[in-house]
Amino acid sequence: MKKITIALATFIQGHNTHLDFMKNSIYILLFLVSFIGISSCSSLGNKSNDDKIPALLERKGDLGPKDEAESIRMVYNKADSALKVNPDDMKQYLALASVFITEGRITGNGNYYSNAADKMLDKVINSGANPDQKFQAYSLKSAVLLNMHQFKDALQVAQQGVAIDSFNSGIFGALVDANVELGNYTEAVKDCDKMLGIRPDLRSYSRASYLRQIYGDNAGAVAAMNMAVEAGVPGAENTEWSRVTLGDLYLNMGNLDSASIVYRTALVYRPNYPFAEMGMARVEKARNNYAAAIEHTKNAIKIISEVAFVSYLGDLYELQGNAAKAKEVHDDVVNLLLDGEKEQPADAPIKHNISREMAMAYLADHNLDKALQYAQTDINMRPENIDANNLLAWIYYLKGDYANAKMHADKMLQTNTKNANTLFEAGVIYESAGDPTKGKLLIQQAKNISPYIDQKIVGQSKLL
């Protein structure tokens, strides 16, 4: 991480100037389409658009500022109208893809919007588009594939983009994300350094923060994420996502007050932001205020019914002592995921890989055999990823297979992470596997980082 530390220090004083142009009403859409441009094409006759443009669905609930939704709708309508005049205008397909990616992130309707975006991008990639347009299509397609957890394909597509333009910051962001998910951390650091060198902004700072956290530099991660937040537009979805991530970093370090302030600030700038509500739920859970945590989680679910949110609600009921309600919720999560998997169209260009989600859902539902099955599928796709190894190690531990648990614990510690929950789990595993000295050391390190170890993990521990 030395290179990232140097690169960040180089840009600290001047980083705010790069985002001044973003102070307008389009917010998050500019994050994706500022380099594309939206323009009405000149009339080339009355050609009809043979292929139907996917619909922009009506939003349900309060998902963000009204002017943000109106701006996104405006871009969609303008591109749709332009394509009715000229179906070969590649700029409009790129604009629509950006709209779909943005709307999928905000609404949580990833399957529909990812495939809608992919359809638009393939129009560009498989056409006579110019190199710049094809580069933009590869860049956006890599984001779609990452969203659908198709990490190897995302890496390959991003590499195709870099082959066209190796001086674009955004494409290196896709390389960072894909390499992190695949466990190629050394490559991810190199890509992040290149990204920072090209454009130090919210996107590059936030990735630098995540890599610092992976490598155990919690204080450096906080500093970089603070820079990401400062570089963004308050209230924009990507800014408030970064702010919530900053709160998560404080939470991992046991600083509940700072975390709470950050989450509440996000809720001021973006009222009802579900990820900030979940941040407050985590704070209240750490304080053993389960009723308050449940209320915040329900607030988040009212906006977006994320599987992770609903599963967290089940965990809270379990910690509260309501085993029957917890079981009901966790059963629902498993069934919803299974139904979603079945409902994916057979001819969908991109299928959502939910192996990790299924493993975590079955783990929460205390079905360790099924959890192991899906966790093994996940690890087979990315054997060096520390999170995949962490999940598999804990499942093996709960099954009493301490040798396999230790083997994967070794891998989950390979980057010297300083995540309190991860270190605690590793310590419990090492003690059970016959290495009490290392186990006790790791548990103490975890407690030194934060006294608020996840109560569910502590409860599952056979040693405490």
SS (H, E, C) 283-304: HHHHCCCHHHHHHHHHHHHHHC
Percent of the chain with pLDDT over 90: 78
Q: Is the pLDDT of residue 235 over 70?
A: yes
Give residue-wise pLDDT tens across range 322-361.
999 999 999 999 998 998 887 777 777 888 899 999 999 9
CA 388 – CA 302 distance, rounded (Å) = 29
CA 158 – CA 160 distance, rounded (Å) = 5
Instruction: Pull the structure tokens for residue 328.
Output: 């009901």
When pLDDT is averaged across residues 278-288 and rounded to a whole number, the result is 98
Give residue-wise pLDDT tens across range 117-126.
999 999 999 9
What H or E segment, with its residue span, contains residue 160?
Answer: helix 151-164
Q: What is the pLDDT of residue 463?
A: 60
> How many Cα atoms occupy the beta-carbon half-sphere of 246 within 13 Å?
27
Q: Is the pLDDT of residue 48 over 50?
A: no
Per the document, the length of the chain is: 464
Average pLDDT, the chain: 88
- In the structure, what pLDDT confidence band is assigned to residue 160 with cuts at 50, 70 and 90? very high
Instruction: Pull the structure tokens for residue 202.
Output: 């919210």
Helix residue ranges, H only, 52-109: 66-85, 90-107
Q: What is the pLDDT of residue 332?
A: 96
Cα dihedral 4→5→8→10 (10° resolution):
-110
Q: What is the pLDDT of residue 52?
A: 87
Angle between helices 420-432 and 386-398 in degrees, nearest 10: 40
Owner of token pair 């409009």: 92
pTM above 0.75, yes or no: yes
Domains of the chain listed by start with CATH number: 36-166 (1.25.40.10), 305-379 (no CATH), 384-460 (1.25.40.10)
